Structure 1
Amino acid sequence: MKLRTTPWDAVGALRRTAKRARILTRGRERAVAKRPKVLTDAIRGEIVSNGSSVATYLYEPIGEPEDVTVVFVHGYTLSAESFFQQVDFLREQWPGVRILLLDLRGHGNSAEVPAAECTIEGAAADVRAAIDILAPDGRIVLVGHSLGGPVSLCVLRRADAALAERISGFVSVSGSLVEMSRRGLARLLDTDAMSGVLKLYRAWPESVFHVRQRFSGLVGPVLSVGFFIRHTPVEHIELHAGLIAKTPTASLAGFAADLRHHSEFEARTRLVGLPGYVIVGENDYVTPVEQSLLLHRHWPGSYYQAAPKAGHMLPLEVPGFVNTAIHRLLEHVTGRGA
C-alpha cells in the first residue's frame, strides 16, 4: 500500500532536512564537542588487528548467561556508539546475552589507517579479531548496519568451519549484497565537486586539512537528506554529526571507494539455513531498498521488513524497529520464543 504524502508532509520534511544540514555542517570541533556521551558503562579496551589498534566495547552477561554474543557492526562514518539504544534494550530485555561492539578501522576511537586499507575485507578482519579475543565461545548473532552489512557478510563468507558453526543468526540493517556502483550513497557522493576533493586527497595526502574542510562541507548536506527521514531527536542527530566529524578523511575516501565496487554475492551460500532479518527504511536513499530485497531473495531463511517513512539511520531513527528484529531473532536462536 502506498502511503499518501500531503504538501504539509513535504514542508515538514524540508524543515527537518534544513535543521539536520545545519547540525551536520558545523565545525568539526564543535560537532565532536556536542556529541552526546553513550556506552559509558561498557568495558572499553582495544585489540590489535593487522597491526592497527581497534577500539572495543564489551558488556558481559548479567545473571544466568544465554551462551549468545550479539556482535554489532556499525556503518560508514559512524562508530559503535550508533547502537547505544540497541545496547540499552538488550541490557534490559536480554541481560544474559554478551554484547560486543567495536569501532571499525579508521572510525571512532580506532586508529586511523591509510585509505587503501579502508576496505570491507579489512574491516571484516577487525570483527573477526574482536570475536576471537573477546567472544571466543558460544553462539554469535551478527547485527550489521549500512557498511556493517557487507562487513558482516564478509565475516560469514571468510569464516572457518568452527566460526561458521557458531554464527547462529544475522540482522542486516540497511545493508547491501552487491556493489553500489552508481546507486545510493555512491550516486549521492558522485558529483564533480566530490570527485575533485577525492582526487586532491589521493594526489596530495598532505592536504588533509583542506580536504577535510571541503569534504565535510559537501558530505553534511548530502547526509542530512539521505540519512534521516522521520522526525528524529536532535541529540541523536548531534551524535551522528559528531561521529561524521570525527571520521578521518582517509576513511571517508577509502570506504566510499570500496563500497562502490565491493560485492558479497558469494556470501549467499553461507546464508543457507541461517535465520535472520533483512530490514531497511522505506525511504532509504543511501543504500537502495533494492539491495535489501536482493539479499532477501538470496537468503531463504530471512524475514524482510521495511520501516514506513524511515531513512537510512534506523538504529537512531526507529530504534524500536531494529530492537524488535534483534529480539525476535534471539527468541528463535535461544528457543525462548518456542
Structure 2
Amino acid sequence: MFTGKKRTSLLDALSARPIAGLTYDREGSTLRQGLNIHWYERGPEDADLTILYVHGFNISSEEFYMQVDALASLPVRQLLVDLRGHGKTGPVPPHMCQVDDAADDIYAVLRDRGVTGPLIVVGHSLGGPVSLSLMRRHAAALDLAGSVQISSTVDPFADQGMPQVLAGWVGSLLEDLYTASPRLMQRLLTLGTRLLVPVLALGFYFRPVGYAVVKFHAAMIQRTALDTYAGFFDDLLTHSELAAADVLATIPGYILVGSRDSVTPVSQSRRLSEIWPRAYFQVLPESGHMPPFDAPGAVSTAIERLVRGVG
C-alpha cells in the first residue's frame, strides 16, 4: 500500500518536465555518399583536444547530454555525430547500414571540422565497434590520445546476450515479416514503442534514473527508422573488431560495462580487455546497458581522467 509520501513522489516523477537534452554551441552536417551526416559541437573550435562521442544503436548523440554538460568547463571541444540511420542524419536504406561505412562517415566529419590535434574517442553499444573501426582503419591519420568503450564488443554483437536471441528463430521471423510487409512491420514498431517506457524501465534500468530519463530514451528509439534496425543488425551478426588490438595497444583507456547488462554482457567487455591491456576495466554495479544514463558520473569521470592525462 502506498503511503502519502510515496504516492506524492510517484506523481512528481510522472509529471516531471521533459529533459531538454543536448546543449551545444554549433551544429551542422557533412556530406558523404549522398548523406548529410549530422554533428554537434560544444566548446572552443580551436581547442587542442577533442572528445568524440559515438552513440548506441537506435538512439542518437543526445544520449551523452549528461557527459557533455559535466565536461563543459574543460578546455576541450566536444564533437558528437549522429550515425547514419539515426538522429538528425536520418534514415538510410538497410544495405547502407554498415559499421565500417558509419566509421568512415565520422572520419569525414573529423576532416570537415578540422580536427587534427589529440582525440579521445568515446563509444557506447553500437558506437563501440563503430569507434573501434574508426580507430583501426584511420589510425595513421588520427592523433589518438585514448578511448572510453562503454557496453562495447569486439566479437560479433550476436555472439552473446540479448542479440543472440534475435539472431535465432525470432530474428528470422522478424526478417520474414519485414521482407513481406515493411509497412506492417513499421506499424507494429510504432505500436510497440508506445509501450517502451514501462518496458525500458523494467528491463534496462536497475538503478533509479527517473521517469523523465526513461521517457527521453524511449523518444530516441521512437525516432529511429525500421530500416536502421534491419540494416545494422545484419552487419552486426558477423562484424568483428579483434583486429583493433594493434591500435588499442598504443593508447590508454577505460572499459565500462553494467553488471546487469543483458545486451552486451560483462563477458563481451572482458573479451575487449583481453586485447587491450592498457585499458582499465570497470564493472558498474547494478547498471544495465545504458551507463551514460544510469551511471553518468562513472562515464564522465573516465573521460575526464583521460583528458587530464593528455600532456
TM range (shorter): 0.7 to 0.9
Query: Structure 2: how far apart are the matches of 1:203 and 1:182?
Result: 27
In the alignment, what sits opposite 1:175? 152
What's the offset of the Cα at 1:283?
A: 1.1
In the alignment, what sits opposite 1:54? 37
Instruction: Give the counterpart letter for 1:81 in structure 2.
Output: E
Point out the more displaced range, 312-321 or 118-127: 118-127
Query: Structure 2: how far apart are the matches of 1:306 and 1:39?
Result: 26
Contact 2:50–2:115 at 8 Å: present in 1 too?
no
Q: 1:68 aligns with which of 49, 54, 64?
A: 49
TM-score scaled by length of structure 1 = 0.81
Instruction: Give the counterpart letter for 2:27 in structure 1.
Output: R
In the alignment, what sits opposite 2:207? 230
In the alignment, what sits opposite 1:119? 98
- After superposition, the C-alpha distances for 1:20-74 in whole angstroms (9 at most, x for unaligned) are xxx9xxxxxxxxxx96332244311111122111111011328xx6510000000
Contact 2:167–2:237 at 8 Å: present in 1 too?
no
- After superposition, the C-alpha distances for 1:114-158 in whole angstroms (9 at most, x for unaligned) are 111112112111211111111432111000011101111000111
Query: Structure 1: how far apart are the matches of 2:23 and 2:181?
Result: 38
In the alignment, what sits opposite 1:151? 130
Give the RMSD, CA atoms, in angstroms.
2.4
Q: In 2 relative to 1, CA 270–212 (structure 1 residues): closer, same or farther, beyond 3 Å?
A: same
In the alignment, what sits opposite 1:302? 279
Q: Does 1:128 align with 2:107?
A: yes
Query: Structure 1: how far apart are the matches of 2:203 and 2:242?
Result: 25
**Counterparts in 2 of 1:34-49, with a 5 A limit?**
36-49=19-32
Runs of 4+ residues over 6 Å off in structure 1 = 217-222
Query: Structure 2: how far apart are the matches of 1:155 and 1:35?
Result: 34
Query: Structure 2: how far apart are the matches of 1:227 and 1:115?
Result: 26
In the alignment, what sits opposite 2:247? 270
**Counterparts in 2 of 1:100-115, with a 5 A limit?**
100-115=79-94
* Percent identity (aligned): 39
Q: Does 1:85 align with 2:62?
A: no
Query: Structure 2: how far apart are the matches of 1:66 and 1:60?
Result: 8
Query: Structure 1: how far apart are the matches of 2:295 and 2:212?
Result: 14
Query: Structure 2: how far apart are the matches of 1:130 and 1:35?
Result: 30
Query: Structure 1: how far apart are the matches of 2:105 and 2:280?
Result: 28
- After superposition, the C-alpha distances for 1:259-310 in whole angstroms (9 at most, x for unaligned) are 2221011111111121111111111111011111111111121111111111
Equivalent pairs counted in the alignment come to: 297
- SS of residue matched to 2:88: coil
Q: In 2 relative to 1, CA 256–220 (structure 1 residues): closer, same or farther, beyond 3 Å?
A: farther
Q: In 2 relative to 1, CA 214–117 (structure 1 residues): closer, same or farther, beyond 3 Å?
A: farther
Instruction: Give the counterpart letter for 2:141 in structure 1.
Output: A
What's the offset of the Cα at 1:315?
A: 0.2
